[in-house]
Structure 1
Amino acid sequence: MSNLCRDDFDSGPKHVFSIEDGLWLGNLTAAIDLSFLKKNKINYILTVDSCPLPEIILELRNIHIKYIQVTDMDGEDLLSHFDSAYEFIKNGQENSSVLVHCYFGISRSTSIITAYIMKKYQISFDDAFQRVKNKNSAALPNVGFQAQLILYQILGWKIDKNNMQFKLFRLKIAARKVKKVKILPQDCIDVIKGDPSLVSARPDPKVYRCRKCRRIVALQSNLLPHYSNENLSWKDSKWSSDYSGSQLCSDTIFVEPMSWMSVSQSESGKINCPKCRSKLGSYSWTMGCQCQCGAKISPAFYFVPSKIDYSGFLQNVQATV
């Protein structure tokens, strides 16, 4: 997909709207209209599309371009780009004018500008989107992007990689990509967490150990909690709040994927202790797992409770890898 180009595309009539001073929303035709760019002093272009702008635009010396390669599909990750897009647009507005565009100027570009306005004015998704809608009545992020914008609001208009809801979101994105290409792509490698056996300056107070050899296999912060008979979804806002309670299920221990598990090269398999090789559980990126309580978790990386002990972390004793 990265080898595609726009040089031979007919993008149709120009559609472009001034959202606020120095900020424009448009389609591809607007982005390649040199007279329009010059007239409105647009020196910053943010492209959100499946392929970049034509060479005639990319080679312009006075144009700063940011390219986000995303298709207009519900399962695409636009959320992870909101912070960097904000900085680009902010810089562009401070120095000249900015055009944010996708192919049609309806979904992806609207999502980016809505996220920018949310963060700039510290307002809700509904309020920010209405501002955009007032300028372009056709503006409409797809339902997946709308859910991501709502999560961005919950996160306080900045990406928090330690937030449980964001973790679940990234795992779902990774699972979709694994389903397509059968291995974990490099752009999703962030979902694989580090080896918890390595002693850190501020370790978790509780850890999970292999019952047979006592090797640390997970930290408390690696746990992916779920409620009895309730499917785990990244769209559920309670995972961004205090979700502790007696209703949390302990029938199966679901965790984040970790580097010692070696789960990036196949869709599913066993999880064995890296020290004694005892089977601790299993994983599946695409099929997930149904807990005994009835909850469906997907993707799933889980330990069988009888194979694991939950204990305190001894800071003065280095774990054996």
Structure 2
Amino acid sequence: MSFASIWNHQTQSKEPIVFHCIFLHPTTQLLTHWPSTAIDPQRLKKIYRDASDTITLDRKDIILHPDTPIDLKKDEIYTIVPMKGEITPSRPMPTPVLTSEMQESSLEEFEESLRKNVEDASEDELLQKEVNYMGNFDEITDQIVDGLWLGDCYSMECHKQMHIKGITHVISVANGLKPITNDNLTQHIYSLPDVPSSNLLEIFDETSNIIDSAREKGAVLVHCMAGVSRSASVVVAYIMKTFRISRDEAIQLVRARRNQIYPNQGFMNQLKEYETMGCELREDRHIRSLQDTIERMKNLAFLMESEGRVRLEWLKRDPNNSLLKETEKKRLFVCASCQRPLFLVESLLHPTEGLCNNLFLEPMQWMHDQISGFSGQLQCPQCRKRLGSYSWTSSMEKTIECSCHHITVPAFNVWTSRVLPAGRKSWT
């Protein structure tokens, strides 16, 4: 049984689903519990990508006008009128079957035999084997709106079923996962633990852009370990931003499709903050207390010393693995040799305009494989040119001091001569 199935039984929402009316697609049978009292064609087409400007109620057509949202009757079921063109109904997935071969071998042994005999197996056989081991995609995931699926860690392995669903992108919001090895799927990984202090707010704009882009030509799966907290928060943020509704309304819409969602309190607070921002991260939010950041880095140094390793989720996200907005590109620093994106200006702890020899910054995810010792060199992850050095310790012989006598402990610094603001050929 998958995590999602377990949570279905163990984690029920504490509040009843509140909605104003229901939309129904006549072919796919996708239901949407709409929380608002009005709808316009733009928002309707974000729910159902093939929707026309017409909906029906009691067999009567209602024409939606672009400039004037129409009022909706409470507790009614409105049927979508799809645009003209053939619509292919969703293909049902096979029922899982426990075979004698599965009973007599471990998962690893069976996967190895499958890999060796893959050329001899038919597509239907491979699909059946995937369903047997990973689960039925329709049962372990839920389609929130047309082309947006929310699921657990097993769902990311259902490659053949995702292909049938037209899924082209996967957003993985969990730590400790192995990357997907499938050329037909584009994966975006955010290594964040399910704890209230994890900063999901920072990725809401980015993940919303990825979901929008994926839904234009295909579909997208968003998942974490159980499909309950982290991935649910990302989907709720997208629903808020796309449909211009409140956090609580978005949660109701998502929960009506996947009842077990339950973001932790920290994520609930971040979603509320996102709502107050108008679902758009403000640049002034990046102006943080330097002392708070230094304290966080000291805590990282303590964790590194106690665990003897550095976890990827402790580090600042790599801008090279992100879809940057135009405003972020203006705050980007790159390697002077190969132009590989390295960090945004808000990661700097000692901002400068080229007057100092060193730039001190928060430890970045691209440093992960380089900072396992107590001190050492930092290299560009692409061209391998040396960028600077790092030190977790405060001992005098390992302390890194700038030419302006600035000292940060722990220290992660790059030389000013080895990086440049994006789009510039020099500091001057």
TM class by smaller structure:
0.5 to 0.7
CA deviation after TM superposition for structure 1 residue 135, in Å: 0.8
Partner of 2:206: 84
Give yes or no for the alignment of 1:141 onto 2:266. Answer: no
Q: For residue 399 of structure 2, what is the aligned residue in structure 1? A: none
Q: Can you list the C-alpha shifts for 1:175-200, whole angstroms capped at 9, x where unaligned?
A: 754553379x752884544447989x
Say which of 196, 218, 234 aligns to 1:96.
218
Question: Which position in structure 2 is the counterpart of 1:181?
Answer: 304
Is it true that 1:48 corresponds to 2:173 in the alignment? yes
Give the alignment of 1:146-225 within 5 angstroms: 146-163=268-285, 171=293, 177=300, 180-181=303-304, 187=316, 190-195=346-351
Deviation, 1:145, is: 1.1
Per the alignment, do residues 45 and 186 of structure 1 end up closer, same or farther by CA in structure 2, a change over 3 Å counting? Answer: closer
Query: Does the CA contact (< 8 Å) of 1:75 and 1:173 recur in 2?
Result: no
CA distance 1:117–1:72, change in 2 (3 Å): same
Give the Cα–Cα distance (whole angstroms) in 2 for the partners of residues 130 and 165 of structure 1: 33
1:246-265 equivalences in 2 (<5 Å): none
1:32 matched residue in structure 2:
157
Residue correspondence of structure 1 range 119-138 to structure 2 within 5 A: 119-138=241-260
Match of 2:236?
Answer: 114
In structure 2, how many angstroms separate the alpha carbons of the residues matched to 1:148 and 1:64? 27
Q: Encode CA deviations 1:57-79: one digit per residue, 9 max, x unaligned.
A: x2322211111111111121111
Q: Structure 1 residues 178, 90: CA separation in 2 closer, same or farther (over 3 Å shift)?
A: farther
The separation in 1 between residues aligned to 2:161 and 2:150, in whole angstroms, is 13
Query: Counterpart in 2 of 1:19?
Result: 144
**Contact 2:150–2:232 (Cα < 8 Å) also in 1:** yes
Structure 1 residues 143 and 95, CA, compared in 2 at 3 Å: closer, same or farther?
A: same
Deviation at 1:124?
A: 1.7
Partner of 1:67, secondary structure, is strand
The DSSP-based 3-state class of the residue aligned with 2:316 is: helix
Q: Which residue of 2 aligns with 1:211?
A: none
The question of 1:67 aligning with 2:67 is answered no
RMSD of aligned residue pairs (Cα, Å): 4.1
% identity of equivalent residues: 25
Compare CA radii of gyration and give the structure with the larger one: 2
| TM-score, scaled relative to structure 1 | 0.52
Cα deviation for residue 133 of structure 1 reads 0.9
Secondary structure (helix, strand or coil) at the match of 2:238 reads helix
Distance 1:134-1:165 versus aligned 2 partners, 3 A rule: farther
Preserved CA contact (<8 Å) 1:26 1:105 = yes
| Counterparts in 2 of 1:111 and 1:198: CA distance versus 1, 3 Å | same
- The alpha-carbon deviation at position 100 of structure 1 amounts to 0.4
Alignment partners' CA distance in 1, 2:227 and 2:315: 29
Distance change in 2, residues 1:94/1:166 (3 Å): farther
Report the CA distance between 1:142 and its aligned residue: 1.0
- Local SS of the residue matching 1:162: helix
CA deviation string 1:88-110 (max 9, x = no partner) = 11111111111101111111110
Determine the C-alpha separation between the residues in 1 that align with 2:207 and 2:186.
13
The amino acid of 1:95's aligned partner reads K
Q: Which amino acid aligns with 1:132?
A: V
Q: Cα deviations across residues 246-267 of structure 1 (Å, max 9, x unaligned)?
A: xxxxxxxxxxxxxxxxxx9569
Q: CA deviation at 1:84?
A: 1.3
> Do the aligned partners of residues 136 and 173 (structure 1) sit closer, same or farther apart at CA in structure 2, a change above 3 Å counting?
farther
SS of 1:17's equivalent in the other structure is strand
**Separation of aligned partners in 2, 1:179 and 1:159:** 31
Q: Structure 1 59/191 Cα, relative in aligned 2: closer, same or farther at 3 Å?
A: closer
Distance in 2 between residues matched to 1:173 and 1:133, nearest whole Å: 34
Could you tell me whether the CA contact under 8 Å between 2:140 and 2:155 is conserved in 1?
yes
Partner of 1:187, secondary structure, is coil
Bigger relative CO (Cα 8 Å, ≥ 6 apart) = 1
Q: 1:173 to 1:104 in 2, by over 3 A?
A: farther
Note the C-alpha offset of 1:156: 2.1
Contact kept in structure 1, 2:301 and 2:392, CA below 8 Å: no
What is the deviation of 1:166?
Answer: 7.0
Cα distance change on mapping 1:88 and 1:174 into 2, 3 Å: farther
Deviation at 1:19, TM superposition (A): 0.2
Separation of aligned partners in 2, 1:67 and 1:30: 15
Contact in 1 for aligned 2:134/2:155 (Cα 8 Å)? no
Q: Aligned partners of 1:174 and 1:120: how far apart in 2?
A: 35
Number of equivalent positions: 209
Name the SS for the 1:24 alignment partner.
strand
Deviation at 1:155?
Answer: 2.1
Contact 1:161–1:167 under 8 Å retained in 2: no
Tell me what 1:280 maps to: none
Q: Give 1:284 deviation, angstroms.
A: 10
1:203 aligns with none
Q: Is the 8 A contact 2:149 2:220 kept in 1?
A: yes
